[in-house]
Amino acid sequence: MKRLLFLPLLLAVFSSFSQILQPPAPDKIYGDLFIEVQMQKIFPDGKTFVDCIPKRKPADIMYDYGLQKGPNFNLKKFVEDNFEIPQPVTANYKSDTSQDVVTHIKNLWAVLKRNPDKEVEGSSLLPLPYPYIVPGGRFREVYYWDSYFTMLGLKESGEVDMIQNMIRNFAYLIENYGHIPNGNRTYYLGRSQPPFFSCMVELLAGIKGDSIYQTFLPDMEKEYAFWMDGADKVKPGQAFRRIVRLKDGTLLNRYWDDSVVPRQESYREDFLTAEKSGRNKVEMYENLRACAESGMDFSSRWFADNKNITSVQITDMLPVDLNCLLYHLEWTIAKGRMINGDLAGAAIFSKKAKLRGEQIDKYFWNKKMSFYTDYNFKTGVQRNNITPAGLYPFCFIKEHPDYLSFLGRKVAAVLKAKLLKDGGFATTEYPTGEQWDAPNGWAPLEWMMIWGLDRCGQKNLAATAAKRWIRLNTRVYKKTGKLMEKYNVADITREAGGGEYSGQDGFGWTNGVLLKLISIYGKSN
């Protein structure tokens, strides 16, 4: 009996030890200095300080901070004296708008490229061993789900080595941290992002052959274990990390973050949002962080009242897009095992994928809305929000194609009525002022909707949306010399706005999706 009691204790100690081995985030390294810089808004963007590189040992900086702080202390000068302040990625790049947009993007890859990193004490950057492409602007590191859409364009540009290097970097992150973090920063280690790794592997395998599935099979399996952690012990009606077991025993996934403090890169914003909400602060931080893992930070999709961030409830929801991506991961693992000759292992994961496909139809197809929507597992009610996530089943589901084609006609009618605008698809119906809401459109979601529509037979609507998006992107480029992170698809004379930071240019996934769409639908008139 004593040995049995000792085992959970040993596992808990091992788990804690594993966490200790993770490099500390800036709030842990710089303590009160971090809090003061963020809360006093020394920089307009909270991400600036957490990306700063110390000019000397952090311990020496903190020692001097302790000695100098007082009534006449100049905090901004202290930071500027002791840290290298990062600049936007494309700060010194001048576009030549006489070039067509395709040439511009192909030239821009070199600007967005980063060579293998060197470790710097006190820096938040997680060094990567291979070259990679960053999004641009304030985003000076690699991002998980961004990179799949960037790779679509890299493929069109013939940059196959870069695709492989980026996938190797993600494999390195899985092997060293147990998952792919939001980005290669210490302050992102508590969460991942929509799991597109298996899609990246499939993309590269389509170029280099099936051996790619074998090469990255162990990494896909390890990522799967991360998302499914707790599946063997969570009871019906309960949730643990990213796992939810419904009362009938069905096992599905949600977005989550393992930290319970304000996001370090948005510390002040999260602190004030939690204060304003009047809700339990830990609960609010869990929800705000989980939104960041979803990639859609922030959106009415996650708000109970469809209006206010203070009503955010994402940790109560089963998202349709996440479960479709895990369905794809299960099928891809099955394929990798099959190629390895592991027929029994392939059968196990094929069965998992088929079961999840059935559950996606059962819990996410909303008959009332004629659309796939998220499911609130706390209330047992489907959401009525129409979002791009409703097209993910059409991108990935392998079973019953005739049925999906039938549903596609219904979904197309809903999209035309609710989300289709002059510049493409809006992200939601609701203009809340949040960046992942109307009137904004985003390249990754445009691609998923266009891809899903094309795959379920709605090719005319797919082409219409694609051509509108290409035209909008090209117009803004000709006007500004920039490709933007997001666009206003309702008023195509403007760019876009909303959210906790200003619009960014560069821009990795916009470049990738635009090149891919142009290769299919041609340049705009």
Catalytic (active-site) positions? 297, 485
Report how far residue 430's alpha carbon sits from residue 62's, in angstroms, rounded to the nearest whole number: 45
Distance set, CA 512 to CA 90, 92, 171, 518 (Å): 17, 22, 21, 10
Partnered with residue 442 across adjacent β-strands are 486
Report how far residue 254's alpha carbon sits from residue 470's, in angstroms, rounded to the nearest whole number: 33
Q: How far is CA 296 from the centre of its chain?
A: 7
Q: Which two tokens stand for residue 132?
A: 């990679």
Q: How far is CA 485 from the centre of its chain?
A: 13
Q: Which two tokens stand for residue 16?
A: 């804690």
Contact 373, 383 (CB under 8 A): yes
Contact 102, 518 (CB under 8 A): yes
Query: 3-state DSSP: the chain helix, strand, coil percent, rounded to 5?
Result: 55, 10, 35
Report how far residue 86's alpha carbon sits from residue 46's, in angstroms, rounded to the nearest whole number: 12
Angle at 182 between CA 180 and CA 183, to 5 degrees: 90
Contact 241, 258 (CB under 8 A): yes
Report how far residue 415's alpha carbon sits from residue 418's, in angstroms, rounded to the nearest whole number: 5
Please identify which residue in the block is written with the tokens 């035209």. Answer: 471
Report how far residue 126's alpha carbon sits from residue 183's, in angstroms, rounded to the nearest whole number: 9
Distance set, CA 302 to CA 383, 399, 452 (Å): 10, 29, 22
DSSP sequence for 226-272: HHTTTTTTPPTTEEETTEEE-TTS-EEE----S--S--GGGHHHHHH
Task: Tell me the residue length of the chain.
Answer: 525
